[in-house]
A = this chain, B = another copy of it.
Amino acid sequence: MTEVELGKESNTEEKEDIVTPWDVESANETGVDYEKLIKRFGSSRVDDALIEKLEKIIKKPVHHFIKRGIFFSHRDLHGLLNAYEQGKPFYLYTGRGPSSESMHLGHLVAFIITKWFQEAFNVPLVVQMSDDEKVIWKDLTVEEGIRLTVENARDIIALGFDPEKTFIFSNLCFMGQCPEFYKNIVRIEKCVTYNQVKGIFGFSEADKLGKVGFPAVEAAPALSSTFPFIFGDKKRQVLIPCGIDQDPYFRMLRDVAPRLGYPKPALIHSAFFPALQGAKSKMSASDFNSAIFLTDTADEISMKLNEHAFSSEGNCDADVPYSLLTFFMEDDKELERIRNAYNSGQMSSAEMRKLAIDCLQPFIAQHQEKRKLVTDEVVQQFMTVRKLKC
């Protein structure tokens, strides 16, 4: 069985989690069964040996997203690290489909870990803003898609990426700026059939043509020759930090890459960021009360946590406010203390909500301050086709 054939829904009677780039719905209240998903997708668990290896190479602790199992699955990270140790650098690729004016907390997860990887390994980063995808899937014009790209790029830049090492591009614009992008799309599209994308992504025949073609667009930046102005004519392996729902694109490319003379892309996958209503679904921008937006005020954050967040008294594993702390509270010891107190019944759910509010309000407020500094000129700087300094 090739990698493209993995991940299809099986025909067993047991209800399975739905995990596609557009739909995540777990079969059980406790959320997606990630052990099963790793098996179904044929990826590998991020285990102690891998964490140890990472820490040995970078000579510092891994990010808490990795230590706490938020990035729980990977593909070929061992191989990528071995090559790195032998002097073969990689590059980072992640992205965002700019479907709404303001991003929410869940959208930051891949960018936060990507920034950590960039700083730990001093490697270039390319960020795809798939505005073409959103124009095709949603009721958006091309012009609106590009505008949302710029607005979302502001939030990404506000996380503190280094402009000398980071290239952010809008698909709708970059396609017309760099011939190698389309050339790689054609090379990929020559290796994949409609049947295969139908199997991988669950397309139906009534789907728009653009949907059928999009997988090659998301896959192409994982071939380093898409960016000759960064990498010259050297082929580099890529590491893609992303939500596990994006894995199908790269499972497809991992079959194709060797046929085009490239190393397979390596990936590190995050678990889903839970909706306030519980881990059964992921946080979604389309439901105001399910998400904490980067534009929310302190009052809105309190309100959402107090009125909409799902609490599970005495059970951290199902408690949304606690889950938010695992993402955004950096202090491991304090988090451990909270976990023990809650699980043993010494801490009420009201107290837990308060802790989450106290953690998120300053995080969001600081983000908003940093975002104000991201002028049009700064965005322009990140989005200009240019050499990078690493």
Contact = CB atoms under 8 A, between A and B. Distances in A.
B194 A203 contact: yes
Contacts of A190: 135-136, 208, 210
A239 to B, nearest CB: 25
Contacts of A181: 175-176
A207 interface: yes
A198 B206 CA distance: 11
A228 to B, nearest CB: 10
Task: Tell me the number of copies of this protein.
Answer: 2
A142 interface: yes
Given A175-B175, A177-B176, A189-B136, A194 B207 contact: yes
Contacts of A142: 183, 186-187
Contact of A182 (B172, B196, B197, B203): B172
Contacts of A136: 186, 189-190
Contacts of A341: none
Contact of A175 (B179, B188, B210): B179
A170 B186 CA distance: 13
A54 interface: no
A173 interface: yes
Interface in A163-204: 171-173, 175-183, 186-198, 203
- Residue picked from A189, A192, A212, most chain B C-beta under 10 Å: A189
A186 B210 contact: yes
Interface of A: 132, 135-136, 142, 171-173, 175-183, 186-198, 203, 205-210, 212-213, 215-216
